[in-house]
Amino acid sequence: MGANTKALKARIRSVDSTMHITKAMELVASSKMKRARARMDGASFYREILAEAFADLATPESAYAKVREDLPALWIVIAGDRGLAGGYNSNIFKAVVQNLREGDFVLPIGRRAADYYARRGYASFGIGEISAETVTSAECAKIAQAVKDRFDRGEIGAVHIASTKFVSMLSQEAGVQQLLPLEMQERTETVAVRPVYEPDAETVLSAIIPEYIAGTVYAAAVESFAAELAARRFAMDTATKNAVGMIDSLTLQYNRARQSAITQEITEIVAGAQA
């Protein structure tokens, strides 16, 4: 019986230690959340402005709107640098694996994505490791220029980006967006005079394609990081609550075992006295 109470006390201490860790991780995620959402809102506004510009520039005849299914595609996959965020990382990998073809390139952002695709032997795009938490606009510009150069040379025929959309603090959605070829969108506004581009719209489009890719990748990265923080905060909050419940249950078991041991000792003493 004594061994049983010792084991229960050791387990209670272990769960209590884990609870302190999960609570600390929840607080860290909460403290980073405000700044992450501010970055996300600013990047989303920039992405909307780019989308409006491309709706006017892109045409079905553009080289950047032609489908080339015979060429390998590039997948820009944004995951986290760490785990303990529920299904955040696994949901991204599931969203990509359904469409990833043999011979496609993968450009991972985030340590988890880099490790995942390196273990499975997918072709790397050769950019180097990029942190999901500290990704910068300069790194996204480097990615964008490399993507445009390879697309222009005919080395890749499509560019997709897999990221997580921040819906709310309790909801995040993993999804895939096609960057190239450009998807034509119907104009909802009717204007009397359309802009005239010099030397022509295709040249202007080619010049700002890197801005479009860089802006979209950066916006997706900062939104994914905000979604990761929200997922980790929720996961750690759930883990903390579960730890509290386990401690209560273990404490009850410990008290019962201790009471049983005391009762047995008293019974043995009384029996010995009577004898």
Pick from 26, 132, 28: nearest CA to 80:
132
**The predicted structure's pLDDT at residue 64:** 84
Q: Which residue has the higher pLDDT, 246 or 195?
A: 246
Q: Which of the four pLDDT bands, split at 50, 70 and 90, describes residue 266?
A: confident
Chain mean pLDDT for the chain:
86
**The predicted structure's pLDDT at residue 187:** 54
Q: What is the mean pLDDT of residues 60-84?
A: 88
Share of the chain above pLDDT 70, in %: 92
Confidence check: pLDDT of 1 > 60? no
**The predicted structure's pLDDT at residue 14:** 94
Contact 176, 96 (CB under 8 A): yes
Least confident of 88-97, 129-138, 185-194: 185-194
Q: What is the mean pLDDT of residues 192-201?
A: 67
Distance separating alpha carbons of residues 192 and 234, to the nearest angstrom? 51
Contact 95, 70 (CB under 8 A): no
Quick: pLDDT tens for 138-180.
Answer: 999 999 999 999 999 999 999 999 999 999 888 999 999 998 9
* CATH fourth-level superfamily of 32-232: ATP synthase, F1 complex, gamma subunit (3.40.1380.10)
State the CATH architecture for 2-20+236-274.
Answer: Orthogonal Bundle (1.10)
Q: Which residue has the higher pLDDT, 265 or 239?
A: 239
Q: What is the mean pLDDT of residues 20-41?
A: 91
Residue 98 backbone phi and psi in degrees, to 5: -70, -25
Share of the chain above pLDDT 90, in %: 51
Q: Is 122 helix (H, G, I), strand (E, B) or coil?
A: coil
**The predicted structure's pLDDT at residue 55:** 67
**The predicted structure's pLDDT at residue 267:** 82
Pick from 248, 232, 249, 250: nearest CA to 21:
232
Least confident of 8-22, 41-55, 112-126, 255-269: 41-55
In the block, which residue shows the tokens 């695709």?
Answer: 117
Contact 108, 74 (CB under 8 A): no
Distance separating alpha carbons of residues 94 and 22, to the nearest angstrom? 26
Per-domain residue ranges for the chain?
2-20+236-274, 32-232
Q: What is the mean pLDDT of residues 167-195?
A: 76
**The predicted structure's pLDDT at residue 29:** 92
**Quick one: tokens of 10?**
């050791």
**The predicted structure's pLDDT at residue 193:** 56
Q: Which of the four pLDDT bands, split at 50, 70 and 90, describes residue 69?
A: confident
Least confident of 146-155, 205-214, 215-224, 247-256: 205-214
